[in-house]
Structure 1
Amino acid sequence: MTELSLLIRTEQPIDSEAIERLHERAFGPGRFARTASRLREGASHRLDLSFTAMVGTLLVGSVRMTPVKAGEVPALMLGPLTVEPAFESRGIGAALMRRSLDAAKAKGDTLVLLVGDEPYYSRFGFKRIPPQQLQLPGPVNPARFLALELVEGAMAGAKGLVSPLPDTGE
């Protein structure tokens, strides 16, 4: 098999339909009922922190970051992180994660939240959120509610409900 080169690039508005089809293949119709998905419905993701993975002209992965408030602290909700099922276990998800987290840190963001598997995301520095510190607007397994401080101490003031930040027109 020929080795294909992977290009990680900033998500473009033209990518949205291909990303939606990717989410459909990867997560199925139940994805809309998930608490993290419902939270993201209330705000637009940031294109400057959202990336796609391309193999030639084929979009094979995507990661998005959506602005939220963690209590009164500005934060980002990472997700979904999606890789085309035929391209899984090739480091694409990790490459997308690193690019997105590096971009968020470079832009001055301080806190990233997500709902996901701790064994996978801990390698990027994500840790379980202490019980009762933050709540999502729907049910979630507390062992899957994770945070990464891009700036040490960012979680200290994050208490209460996580809510979407309204669009600012950027």
Structure 2
Amino acid sequence: MYRLEQETSADRWEVEALYDTCFAPGREALSSYRLRDGVPSVARLCLVARDPDGILAGAIRFWPVRVGRAEALLLGPVAVHPTRQGEGLGGLLMRDGMARAEEDRWPRTMLVGDEPYYRRFGFTRLEGVEMPPPTNPARVLGSGDWAGITGKVKRWAR
């Protein structure tokens, strides 16, 4: 049984270590990280999963972005510790995070990932939405109301 909690500043380095474990070196060079630089995450949606002993098993983060003039969430990273994969924890984090986003009335969410995996959470390929290079357009996926939304994905600024 896992306990989902909102990520706090005390979790930051432990979550970063999890991401280092789960992703290839150089992950911070990806274009999605440029969209996050200097932009606060959407704190209520950023979650950590801990086992009964309090050990971090997974984490998910969401960031605000703009697509053209529209507001959207950029989901990611989401990670589950390698020793905990295959237990449904990634799905739990995705479903809970997406439910919170819906409660907070975010109309659309996007991510860069594998469509066969994320399809079960309602994500499909986005046409006309341009992530900064180098991003494979086939991996740009969205969920929610994307009708008429096209353009370049840009860093959040009010």
Q: Same fold (TM over 0.5)?
A: yes
Counterpart check, 1:46 vs 2:42:
yes
Cα deviation per residue 1:80-126 (whole Å; 9 max; x = unaligned)? Answer: 00111111111010000000000000001100000001111000000
Instruction: Report the identity percentage.
Output: 37
Which of 63, 68, 73 matches 2:70? 73
How is 1:24-43 mapped onto 2 (pairs within 5 angstroms)? 24-43=20-39
Match of 2:148 among 147, 152, 157: 157
TM-score of the superposed pair, with normalisation by structure 1: 0.88
CA contact (8 A) 1:42 1:165 kept: no
Gaps of 5+ in 2: none
Matched, 1:105 2:102: yes
Offset of 1:157 from its aligned partner? 3.4
Q: Deviations over 1:43-101 (max 9, x none)?
A: 12111011111012111100000000111100000000011111111101000000000
Give the length in aligned residue pairs.
157
- Structure 2-normalised TM-score? 0.94
CA shift for structure 1 position 42: 4.2
SS at match of 1:29: coil
Equivalent-residue separation in structure 2 for 1:123 and 1:28 (angstroms): 25
Q: CA RMSD, aligned part only?
A: 1.2
Letter in 2 for 1:45: S
CA distance in 2, matches of 1:139, 1:33: 10
